[in-house]
Homo-oligomer: A and B are copies of this chain.
Amino acid sequence: MSSATMPANRLFTFAGVAAGTWRVDAVRPIVGESLPQVNFVNMLGETVPTPTTAVWLLRGIVSNERYVTRAEKTELVNKQQGLGRADSTRAALIPIRKSPAWWGLTQDERRAVLEEQSQHIKIGLKYLPAIARRLHHCRDLGPGEPFDFLTWFEFAPQDAPAFDELAAALRESPEWKFIDREVDIRLSRDAA
């Protein structure tokens, strides 16, 4: 789940709210505790004030990529498209937390689990450009964040089955043994 290019805006807040842009179609706890039910989710940039009425707020920051090699990056950049496409009226917000065992691995060990064993990057590439995504890091925002990563995906309604396939493939991979909390939030918005 690597990010595309570094946007000018790096810090994003996802707000679970009563009324907003992205309608919540389903919230499913995959591992560990779920999040309180909300009707809508808004994705807010740094300069947008966070709503005081939000049921929950999750913050994440776009950062440098931690695992991709130059060859993989070139392939990603050539294939991927940005967020905000007109026909991308479906989205998924997937907050995950990785276990202390993951964070105790060294870089070479984490890369081996993520790609050589789990093909995380290769699986993502397979679904480009249909499934656009942006990865937000939470773990180093401070010591009290509930998740380590928030991944945001956007796609057209006809690509929803492809997204299910992608999510299932990752969840069956050895990397997912290191996930100790995951919530799967599916969203939709009206076409512009």
Contacts and interface: CB of A to CB of B under 8 A. Distances in A.
A1 to B, nearest CB: 14
A192 interface: no
Contact of A65 (B63, B70, B73, B106): B106
B141 A68 contact: no
How many monomers of this protein are in the complex?
2
Q: Is the interface of A mostly helix, strand, loop or mixed?
A: loop
- Residue with the greatest number of chain B CB neighbours at <10 A, chosen from A103, A106, A111, A142: A106
The number of chain A residues touching the other chain, given as a range, is: 20 to 34
B108 A69 contact: yes
Contact of A140 (B103, B104, B137): B137
Interface string A140-158: 1111000000000000000
A144 to B, nearest CB: 9
14 contacts: A6-B104, A11-B143, A61-B140, A61-B143, A63-B140, A65-B106, A66-B66, A66-B107, A68-B107, A69-B106, A70-B108, A107-B111, A137-B140, A140-B140
Interface of A: 6, 9-11, 46, 61, 63-70, 72-73, 103-104, 106-109, 111, 137, 139-143
